[in-house]
Amino acid sequence: MNGNLMKIVNLFFQFVLSVILVGFLIYFLTCYDSAFEADQSCHSYLSNLSEKSENFGCDHDTETHKWILYETQDNSEPAKIIKKFRYKFL
């Protein structure tokens, strides 16, 4: 019985470690390599929008390490986030 319990615990930890490893791989493989690349992608996306307006813009968020494509609202509501461009910071 003790051997079976050890096998179950071992499988559980292998599963948890695999999920963590896959999470890190997805996190680092799905972002831009630098802030410059994220900036260029944001401005490229902005220039390709079908609706040209002064209400759209790109801004850098240093806390989250992202470039953000946004649309300002006419009234006093917060800007609407359209797309985020995350980049590696490590």
* pLDDT tens track for 33-87: 999 999 999 999 999 887 777 889 999 998 988 999 999 988 888 999 999 999 9
Sign of CA dihedral 51, 55, 61, 64: negative
Q: What is the pTM of this model?
A: 0.70
Give how many domains the chain has, as a whole number: 2
Residue type, 55: N
Q: Are 18 and 34 in contact (CB under 8 A)?
A: no
Look up the domain containing 38 and give its range: 33-90
Spatial CA neighbour of 83 closest among 22, 24, 26, 48: 48
* Pair (25, 41) in one structural domain: no
* Pair (19, 44) in one structural domain: no
**What radius of gyration, in Å, describes the C-alpha atoms of the chain?**
21
* Pair (40, 25) in one structural domain: no
